[in-house]
Amino acid sequence: MLTCSRGKLTVMKTYTIAVLPGDFIGPEVIDATIEVLDVVAPSYNFKLEYTRLPFGGNALESHGHPLPEETKETCAASDAVLMGSAGGPVGDHPWNKVKRELRVESGILGIRKHLGLFANLRPVKVFEGLEHLSPLKTEVAKGTDMLIIRELTGGIYFGKPSHNTPDEGVSTDIYTRPEVERIARVAFETAKVRGGKVTSIDKANVLDVSQFWRDVVVGLHETEFPEVTLEHLYVDNAAMQIASNPRQFNTVVTSNLFGDILSDLAAVIPGSLGVLPSASLGGKVGLFEPVHGSAPDIAGKGLANPVGTMLSAAMMLRYGLKEHAAAETIEAAVQKALFENPTKDLGGSAGTAEFTKSVTSAVPVVATA
């Protein structure tokens, strides 16, 4: 598409976005986020074309599978995938009574595998003016801005042999050199634009696989990224440090199991899961989704906090589409809206629609600042 700006014809880029609204509040936070994206995109000379696809519990009901083939193939052919939230209530719910391979969790693992995603990025940031929401003391939480990079496709979750019998349970924690090198490379490259420091977390004093992890990370650092500062922490010490002094961390890289645990520990620091985004990278197409669940109890009430999804969309622009300036605009607009008109779960009065309006209204202000 050609556009005219100040008398000059320019080509407007078009990106295809596969949208997985998911379940319960998922479609609500997706709609709010698309509204923001469509306000931002024209200012940076690009256009987003969305294809909404069945996924999650609703797809299980309508298509007999949480990840239909149509969804898999369209996601793989798109420029990026934006997800709302998938799943339903825990306990006695029909979606929880199906075979394991038909559960929503299997759909999530399935789309990650299909897209070849091996790196999960989880930012943990305490926003100015919202420090009081953190369970940590304000002076401890203030200024926290870390990025946890978790390896997604290796380690003990996927190692073989793995079995559970009446007499023993066995899980195997295994990593190969290519698996460690590629996730470490993501961490070092990311750290170069985030302050130049990587903290690698392992348990090298006890586990051979962790010593291997550390050796590979050190080797890659020495040969390819000597300008980045590298430090190591044992996972138990890291958990204590995250809870007591989170500001010391910049970019963290760790294995699948440790990353799963530590990212959830760090997630409580901002005081609400509703503000946390994530990105899963590694293949040609990235997957971007909020950390929070589908919140069936508030679905349809206009109370869903869309911040996590909006910030996931900003990560999509930055990491998936390389539209860095547009990503910064969304982040600045969200931060301005959070400071001036926070959502109800953050102690304010704004519902989903009102908060979204605050963000879209802030876009022209922050874009020209």
pLDDT digits (tens, 9 = 90+) for 216-249: 999 999 999 999 999 999 999 999 999 999 999 9
* pLDDT of 3 higher than 90: no
Domain co-membership, 106 together with 3: yes
pLDDT in tens, 309-329: 999 999 999 999 999 999 999
Say what the pTM is. 0.92
Domain co-membership, 261 together with 288: no
- Residue 53 counted as domain residue: yes
Tell me the catalytic residues: 157, 203, 236, 260, 264
Domain co-membership, 261 together with 275: no
What was the pLDDT predicted at 9? 64
For residues 175-202, average pLDDT: 97
What was the pLDDT predicted at 1? 60
pLDDT in tens, 115-129: 999 999 999 999 988
- Residue 135 counted as domain residue: no
Residue 357 and residue 77: Cα distance in Å, rounded?
32
- What CATH number does the domain containing 196 carry? 3.40.718.10
* pLDDT of 369 higher than 80: no
What was the pLDDT predicted at 92? 84
Domain co-membership, 15 together with 107: yes
What was the pLDDT predicted at 365? 86
Residue 80 β-bridge partners: 17, 286
Domain co-membership, 3 together with 122: yes
For residues 248-265, average pLDDT: 97
H or E element: which one contains 196? none
- Residue 261 counted as domain residue: yes
Domain co-membership, 99 together with 79: yes
Domain co-membership, 244 together with 284: no
Mean of all residue pLDDT scores within the chain: 95
For residues 149-159, average pLDDT: 94
Domain co-membership, 288 together with 258: no
Contacts of 52 (CB under 8 A, 6+ apart): 19, 20, 21
344 or 1, which is more confident?
344
Residue 305 β-bridge partners: none
Domain boundary among 268, 296, 318: 268
Using an 8 Å Cβ cutoff, are 58 and 20 in contact?
Answer: no
- Residue 137 counted as domain residue: no
What was the pLDDT predicted at 100? 86
Domain co-membership, 4 together with 120: yes
Using an 8 Å Cβ cutoff, are 279 and 287 in contact?
Answer: yes
For residues 184-195, average pLDDT: 96
For residues 335-364, average pLDDT: 95
- Residue 138 counted as domain residue: no
What was the pLDDT predicted at 7? 61
Domain co-membership, 275 together with 360: yes
- Residue 78 counted as domain residue: yes
Domain boundary among 268, 293, 321: 268
Domain co-membership, 251 together with 305: no
- Residue 133 counted as domain residue: no
Domain boundary among 268, 287, 314: 268
- Residue 136 counted as domain residue: no
Domain carrying residue 366: 1-128+271-369
Domain co-membership, 255 together with 315: no
H or E element: which one contains 28? helix 26-40
Using an 8 Å Cβ cutoff, are 80 and 14 in contact?
Answer: no
Number of domains in the chain: 2
What was the pLDDT predicted at 8? 64
